[in-house]
Structure formats: structure tokens, C-alpha cells
Structure 1
């Protein structure tokens, strides 16, 4: 990756809807050159896709939480398979250490939180933390110089 690729990644992470024409103007490159770079970055797996960031609170999921699951009672693969379709779970990360999984979830309220915990209890020890604020959210990710 060269400096132009890095600048392209930065611009797209700031505004994923920026058009090829706008990127072309900002980076002083032709539209075909920008399109070719975008395609290469996607083919190399650097750009994973383009999507909208949605506010959970704005769509009625005002309680966000981090869940730590430890002392797993089933295989990691079985757990991952079982929770794959749970719409309350936004992210799930298998991690090292005494905790097996760290999960980010968004629910409508305490009743939904209770039901989510009950769904997870058969798989291990559940420790929940309600997110009060997120001072760093969706930080731009660029290669280190």
C-alpha cells in the first residue's frame, strides 16, 4: 500500500458514501485510477465492504452491553453456531485468557437483557456490563507507518 491507498482508506472510513468522482477530486487522480485502487483493496481483503452505521438507540435498542462468557460448557464452535442467529448480539469475539468470549449486544430494555442472559447461561458463566458511553467509536484504522 502506498500513501494514496492510505489516504483513500482514510477518506472512505470518514465517509463511506463518498463517490468515486469526489475521491478522484480529493486525491487528484482519475476516476478509473480510483476505481482500480478500490478494486485492488477489496481483492486484497483490506476493504471488507461498505455499510451504514446505525444507532441502536435510535431504533429502540437503547441498552447496549458487553458480555463476558467464561467457563464454556460446550465447544467454542457449538457456541458460535448457537448464537449466530441471535439478533440481540452485535459482535462476538473469541478471546484469550480466563474469558472465552466477549460479546457486544443491544437490547430494548432490562426485560430483553434478562432474556438474553437466560439464553446464554446454558453455555457458561455470564458477566454483563451495561455500556454507559462510548468515547471512542468506529475509529479510523490505517496501517502503521
Structure 2
């Protein structure tokens, strides 16, 4: 997609703050008509800049009281199997493949410590794991598109 101008960037920031804003409200906030704002949003959706919309669920409100980050150090031969297991484990909510000593980092939400233990043990068959309990999550900053190179 061609570079995003400041209006596109403002629209992205607004949608990251509240994905339920209407085209009319976004247009009002950025100084465009509703059709013009909606056309920009559609263009960014079609280009893959806006990848989707979703509800953000409070884990504690649905009984998932323990959150942990699990780091796994494994071999290249075991990597695919470990990622497959993580994909099949409902408690694993995201997986990152990383460089460094660890190979994979899993974000895990569990109902209790016993369930966390089972998740850790299932991943540990692929190599050493390190587990850290999450005490608090701080708000994420919205993504800001990379600046276009100067002409």
C-alpha cells in the first residue's frame, strides 16, 4: 500500500482505541465526511493494514485467574511439534517464535495453578521451560505506521 498520510494514521489510532467507532464519528474527529472516512477505512482493510476487529475479553471475568509467560528452549527438530501442541492447547493464547536462547514464548491463561502445571509439563517434553507469573498488564500503545522515507 502507498504510504499512509496523517489522516490515515489518525484513523488507525482512533480505531485502535475503539474499534466500534462509526465512520461518521471517525470522519467528525479527523475532519472528513462519513463517506470519505469510510472509504479510507475500506482501503486500509483491503490493503491488509487493518487486519481485523475483535472484542477484548477480561480473562478474570471468564474465570481465567492465572496468567503466565512460558519460555521454551527446544531443538529445531522439535519446534514444529511444540508449536502444534501450543495451537491445540486452549490455555495458550499466543505464541512467539524468538531469537536468543529461548525458541518460543507462550502467553498462557489458566483457571488455576494445577492447570498451569499441566500446561508447563506438556510443553516441557520439548525442552527446558521457564515460567513467569504475570502480576499486572499495562495498556498497550497503539501501533504507529513507520514514517515514509524523506524524498
Aligned positions, number = 144
CA distance in 1, matches of 2:16, 2:146: 16
CA distance in 1, matches of 2:15, 2:48: 15
- Asked if 2 retains the 8 angstrom alpha-carbon contact of 1:72 and 1:125, the reply is no
Q: Are positions 1:121 and 2:124 aligned together?
A: yes
Residue 145 of structure 2 is matched in structure 1 by 143
Deviation at 1:120, TM superposition (A): 0.8
CA distance in 2, matches of 1:24, 1:126: 48
Q: What's the Cα RMSD here? A: 1.5
Deviation at 1:62, TM superposition (A): 1.1
> Could you state the TM-score of these two structures normalised by the residue count of structure 2?
0.89
CA distance in 2, matches of 1:117, 1:38: 41
- SS class of match (1:123): coil
Deviation at 1:133, TM superposition (A): 1.1
- SS class of match (2:125): helix
Structure 2 unmatched runs, 5+: none
Deviation at 1:123, TM superposition (A): 1.4
Residue 33 of structure 1 is matched in structure 2 by 36
Residue 133 of structure 1 is matched in structure 2 by 136
Q: Deviations over 1:69-108 (max 9, x none)?
A: 0033743223222221211011100000110001111001
Structure 1 unmatched runs, 5+: none
Deviation at 1:10, TM superposition (A): 0.7
Counterparts of residues 64-79 of structure 1 (less than 5 Å): 64-72=67-75, 74-79=77-82
